[in-house]
Amino acid sequence: MKILCVGSLNIDRVYQVPHFVQAGETLACAGFSQAPGGKGLNQTVALARAGASVRHAGAVGEDGGLLRQTLRDAGVDDGLLAQSAQPTGHAIIQVDPSGQNCILVSAGANGTLERDYLAALLDGCEPGDILLAQNETNELPWLLREGRRRQLTVAFNPSPITPELPGYPLDCVDILILNEIEGAALSGESDPTRMPAALRAAYPRARVMLTLGGDGCVYTDQRETVRQGIFPVKAVDTTAAGDTFTGYFLAWLAEGKPVAQALRAASAAAALAVSRPGAVPSIPARRQVLDFLCKN
Ligand code: RIB
């Protein structure tokens, strides 16, 4: 089963801060670094490092060389990317001493995808292949409908939350992968214990994969509900942990593995990502995840 990821590619500018900057405050940073990121690119790299067959659709500007190289390094064809007249997307990320983050994104080229370009890449998919998207590119309502029309397995990570999101055709989604903030926004239920059932009721066609931070994750569909706890690690930087989880979860499902195994592998991969700095640089290879699982 092949996977097409349609998603953002960002240059992440990461600032180590003593605390998140407050309104009116000027804050000196303890460190700065720049690295490849973007939810789409992170998830594609996680899929590739997990061993999945993945193509990436997205756009970068003339300044996108680092992100093209990142795809090539992961064994993914960068020749499918659209070249935009807009600058490459970027993110400004504050990371505090506990490893938590706070992210601002500027879409740039990520907001310039055209339907003809996307349709040409969808033409390379067969019914049953996975179409994966997040909420950092344009044309998403069209893309979700088109994925369903072409009988693809539509996987959607509705991150970040935007005002338009509740109006998207989420009835076209087969696999909804989200965290508890996104879950609350889409179900209206803020109690994490009731959220899985609320999401299932709201999106009866979808298999729901809900991550709950320190409380692990829960998968639910009309047949089964499976839970997985976290693997405790010292958090260095939580950036891209959710993207790593998504990539590994889908890679294991694409291999036909049971949900419980996919959850365990995805949780292990996310734990490794949390223990390392950066977005793409923090995503572990399949061998590292398997070794970690053997030891834990
Ligand atoms: O999910 C983490 C990602 O969100 C970062 O890499 C940043 O680019 C933003 O898209």
Alpha helices by DSSP H, the chain: 39-50, 65-73, 115-122, 140-149, 180-187, 195-202, 241-254, 259-274, 286-295
Using a 6 Å cutoff on CB, does residue 237 contact ligand 1?
A: no
Residue 214 to residue 229: CA distance in whole angstroms: 8
For the stretch 221-269, pLDDT in tens is 999 999 999 999 999 999 999 999 999 999 999 999 999 999 999 999 9
Q: Please give the average per-residue pLDDT across 104-119, as a whole number.
A: 98
Helix (H) or strand (E) holding 131: strand 130-134
The overall average pLDDT reported for the chain is: 97
State percent of the chain over pLDDT 70.
100
**In a mutational test of the pocket of ligand 1, which residue from 110, 239, 243, 282 has the highest number of ligand atoms less than 8 Å from its CB?**
239
Assign 19 a pLDDT band (cuts: 50, 70, 90).
very high
Sequence-distant (≥ 6) Cβ neighbours of residue 265 within 8 angstroms: 50, 248, 249, 252, 257, 289, 293
Using a 6 Å cutoff on CB, does residue 240 contact ligand 1?
A: yes
The model's pTM: 0.97
Q: Which residue's alpha carbon is at the smallest distance from atom 8 of ligand 1?
A: 38
Q: Please give the average per-residue pLDDT across 59-85, as a whole number.
A: 98
Residues 148, 154: contact at Cβ < 8 Å? yes
Using a 6 Å cutoff on CB, does residue 42 contact ligand 1?
A: yes
Measured from the Cβ of residue 75, the count of other Cβ atoms closer than 10 Å reads 12
Both structure tokens of 108: 């740039």
CA of 224 to the centre of ligand 1 (A): 31
Specify the pLDDT at position 188: 95
Specify the pLDDT at position 1: 84
Specify the pLDDT at position 91: 98
Residue 171 to residue 202: CA distance in whole angstroms: 9
Domain boundaries defined on the chain: 3-295
Using a 6 Å cutoff on CB, does residue 239 contact ligand 1?
A: yes
Assign 35 to helix, strand or coil.
strand
Using a 6 Å cutoff on CB, does residue 134 contact ligand 1?
A: no
Active site residues: 243
- CATH level 3 topology of 3-295: UDP-N-acetylmuramoyl-L-alanine:D-glutamate ligase (3.40.1190)
CA of 198 to the centre of ligand 1 (A): 27
pLDDT tops 90 at residue 125: yes
